[in-house]
Structure 1
Amino acid sequence: MTPAARLQAALDLMHEVDSVARPADAVVSAWFRARRYIGDEDRGHISDLLYALLRHHARVGWWLAKHGRKDVPRNRLLAWLALDGGNIFGGKTPGGNTRGQIHGLFNGGKFAPAVLMDHERALLVKLQGCPIDHPAMPDEVRFECPSWAVEPLRRRFDEAFAREMAALLAAAPLDLRVNPVKSTREAVLSALRDLGLPAEASRMAPYGIRVKGRLSLASLPMLKSGEVEIQDEGSQLVAMLVDARPGERVVDFCAGAGGKTLAIAAQMANKGHVIACDVLDSRLKRAAERFRRAGLHNIETRLLASETDRWVKRHKGGFDRVLVDAPCSGTGTWRRNPDARWRVLGLGLENLLPLQASILASAARLVKPGGRLVYATCSMLAEENEAQVAAFLAAHPAFHVVPLREAAPQLAESAHPDYLSLTPARHDTDGFFAAVLQREAAPSPE
């Protein structure tokens, strides 16, 4: 594809993302599946441009508003190219692309964007050479942070607020988790290097691999064979804290598409019994396919009507380990899912908090005496994390915290003495929180 055709494709994709109420990654995946004729290199350029625009959504919108322009995909793209969009032809031009370059791309040719109109040329003149950041921008704009999250995150990070917000603006790395049932980390690292892909062992996760540079996932045969799964290193560490042993009975109470379930089942060497629960059947069906591909046969899926489904009461005290990866604001995933900042926050934080508390209390009933309950979120808000755990412990005196130095001594640098607390700036992972809680053992018979 020509640079102009890539721009038009990115514009079409931006319109698609704007027009549907689905996460951008799902929209992008479906859009490219319907256009298999687009090659891997072109897909990479188009995706990079789209995600750059998503990561700069508030700042580009601020510049458009400053000059009285509508915040629509074409204006967004023009502003980005003029402000600080990088050179569409490769390399980096300070202050963005030249007006001549942009005029040449918007040439009205076949597969190219329509020719610029007079008011669009005027916008380029106003924006050319301006930096993407401006001193007059409020914090929520400069840090690409929705207004509802600014104060909670400022309280959470205090003096580190600006550094953490800046880290959330970077592109997320590609992390893989090796499936020990099918391969070893050393073997996968060797195979990746044979493919010419720069890869290294993750710093903290024992089965993790970080792949650097742009690549097509279709070029990873070990992904199709189930030898590896795509999973952020932080997510791998949450699953590790479950500490599931071969032969145990384990519940992943909010399993979703099954990423952590896979890691837990692999910990158990395909022995024992793992139940992946969720309230959405579509998620469990996708998860079941991943389980089969990974060669894991110790997993059962269970559809629940709600967190208080009668199944929970019937299996009270029946499990050694229970993971609650609770639905949350997702603030820790913003560098991976930049569009999530600006989508309506589902139930809203005011409704998420009581739902999290209800899910945790219900799931706790499944834990047998002496068993372990792990509460986790991909949020960095104290309201969803430490505050939830404190409220749960106050209401459930049979449980106590297992400090991180005991649960996972190798993760003691997590920045919290009791809980796993990961952030992009400190650990170069998604933001994750996890608390390991243990139920008192049954009293010995006299």
Structure 2
Amino acid sequence: MRIGGRLAGAIEILADVEERRRPIASALKDWGTAHRFAGSGDRAAIGNIVYDALRLKLSHAFMMDDDSPAALAHAVLFRQWGIAPEALAERLDGDKFAPEPLPEATLAAFASRDLADAPDAVRGDLPEWILPSFRENFAEDWLGEAEALNLRPPLDLRVNTLKATREKVLKALSRSGAAAGAIAPEAIRIPPGSGPDRLPNVTAELSFQKGWFEVQDQGSQIVSKMVGAKAGDQVLDFCAGGGGKTLALAAAMDNAGQVHAYDADRTRLAPIIERLKRAGTRNVQVHDALEGLSGLEERFDRVLVDAPCTGTGTWRRRPDIKWRLSEKNLEERMAQQAEVLAEASRFVKPGGQLVYVTCSLLPEENQGRIAGFLASDAGSAFEPVDMETMWSTTFPGIEARPYFPVRGAVTLTPAATGTDGFFCAILDRKA
């Protein structure tokens, strides 16, 4: 397909996402099924336009004075892919698959507008109601943090040390542009590329099938490392989901000790079984009902609570959820977070640790939840650790400097640490 057909496809998918309020991945899959003539390179380019458009939805609409799918898709090529309007018009001329030309008023707006004149929420491509939370969390750095969330993310992998070394995996993926990650010791990173570039399908690699590595953002690897699990420990992953952190914890323990992986959502938990087999993990018990943990209260050295959250830290990868998020969603997540913290804390033994993690960058879900927990009856048995010291000892010599919003907590961000957004708080249970 030429660029005209790709642009038209992206416009169609953007309209579908907007009208039906559905995930990008679902809309892309359905479009590909209905247009089987489109090759893998075409589908990748179209997907890139769609994702890029939604990352910068507000600023694109401001610059074009038009928030239609056609205007957003064209803005991607103008602003992010570096194709001038005149050059694009020449490339689309005579292409029968190209979309209709933009109105002259839209092109005139793009030529005359300056993003510096836009409201703050538009400059940061943030829902306006979230702007105060970003300012509270990052002060004068809020805009840089918001802008970093609007960039394409890299592809991060975690080496499975039960089966391979980082050097071994890097050699196996040498054709993919893979390089060692900057912070987590088992991290490997493949850069995101630009324009129509597509990331390699690493899950098709023989080394993946052998269980040498898992796809996992470096931020997730970092917080898994900060749990501090070691051989012989008893560890509970209380909201295990698909098992990414469970696998990292089991590898850190070298298959010695025990990891109990629990999640009430059986659909989210389902992939963990196959992943555990591929990784060669032998020290994990999986639970899909809380009754499976009965009798284990106050028995665990470390309890990880990867709490349900708004996912604001993952907006680079899932920009569509940014525009569907509401204040009601945030309130629901905060209530769930308070509930799981209280419930999970029962399983920490005296002298053990409770680790609270979200992939959110909103203080209401992070330091606010920890403050609320510590003020509760359940939280009175806990006290925050010195997180700045823990960071320095866990990742010595690392130049990247995360945020330490309150004692006992650390915040990772795309701008500060080059990762997805994560919050991690560690609390000691008093002996």
Q: Shorter-chain-normalised TM-score: which range?
A: 0.7 to 0.9
Residue aligning to 2:211: 226
Residue aligning to 1:236: 221
Summarize the Cα distance change of 1:130–1:46 in structure 2 as closer, same or farther, 3 Å threshold: farther
Cα contact 1:370–1:438 (8 A) shared by 2:
yes
Q: Partners in 2 of 1:334 and 1:288 — Cα distance?
A: 28
Q: Deviations over 1:115-154 (max 9, x none)?
A: 44xxx443454245346x5344211112110122100110
3-state SS of 1:7 partner: helix
Q: Partners in 2 of 1:134 and 1:255 — Cα distance?
A: 42
Summarize the Cα distance change of 1:125–1:437 in structure 2 as closer, same or farther, 3 Å threshold: closer
Q: Deviations over 1:200-231 (max 9, x none)?
A: 21111010011124432155432333211111
Q: CA deviation at 1:73?
A: 2.2
Residue aligning to 1:182: 163
Residue aligning to 2:200: 216
Describe how 1:262-411 pairs up with structure 2 within 5 A. Answer: 262-304=247-289, 309-311=290-292, 314-345=295-326, 348-395=329-376, 396-408=379-391, 409-411=393-395
Q: CA RMSD in A?
A: 2.7
Cα contact 2:4–2:99 (8 A) shared by 1:
no
Q: CA deviation at 1:312?
A: 5.2
Where does the alignment leave 5 or more consecutive residues of structure 1 unmatched? 87-91, 442-446
Q: Which residue identity does 2:200 align to in structure 1?
A: S
Cα contact 2:157–2:214 (8 A) shared by 1:
yes
Q: CA deviation at 1:243?
A: 1.6
Describe how 1:85-96 pairs up with structure 2 within 5 A. Answer: 85-86=80-81, 92-93=82-83, 95-96=84-85
- 1:84 and 2:79 aligned: yes
Residue aligning to 2:244: 259
Describe how 1:50-61 pairs up with structure 2 within 5 A. Answer: 50-61=50-61
Cα contact 1:312–1:365 (8 A) shared by 2:
no
3-state SS of 1:222 partner: helix
3-state SS of 2:375 partner: helix
Q: 2:181 aligns with which of 193, 199, 202?
A: 202
After superposing the two structures, state which structure 1 stretch, 170-179 or 390-399, moved more: 390-399
- 1:146 and 2:109 aligned: no
Residue aligning to 2:44: 44
Summarize the Cα distance change of 1:298–1:347 in structure 2 as closer, same or farther, 3 Å threshold: farther
Q: 2:147 aligns with which of 157, 166, 179?
A: 166
Q: CA deviation at 1:429?
A: 1.0
- 1:126 and 2:108 aligned: yes
Where does the alignment leave 5 or more consecutive residues of structure 2 unmatched? none
Summarize the Cα distance change of 1:432–1:85 in structure 2 as closer, same or farther, 3 Å threshold: closer
Q: 1:421 aligns with which of 411, 414, 419?
A: 411
Residue aligning to 1:89: none
After superposing the two structures, state which structure 1 stretch, 266-275 or 202-211, moved more: 266-275
Identity of aligned residues (%): 39
Summarize the Cα distance change of 1:383–1:125 in structure 2 as closer, same or farther, 3 Å threshold: closer
Q: Partners in 2 of 1:315 and 1:48 — Cα distance?
A: 47
Summarize the Cα distance change of 1:239–1:28 in structure 2 as closer, same or farther, 3 Å threshold: farther
TM-score, with normalisation over the residues of structure 1? 0.84
Summarize the Cα distance change of 1:361–1:77 in structure 2 as closer, same or farther, 3 Å threshold: same
Q: Which residue identity does 1:440 align to in structure 2?
A: K
3-state SS of 1:270 partner: coil
Matched pairs, number:
416
Q: Which residue identity does 1:58 align to in structure 2?
A: L
Summarize the Cα distance change of 1:177–1:85 in structure 2 as closer, same or farther, 3 Å threshold: closer
Cα contact 1:329–1:345 (8 A) shared by 2:
no
Cα contact 1:252–1:323 (8 A) shared by 2:
yes
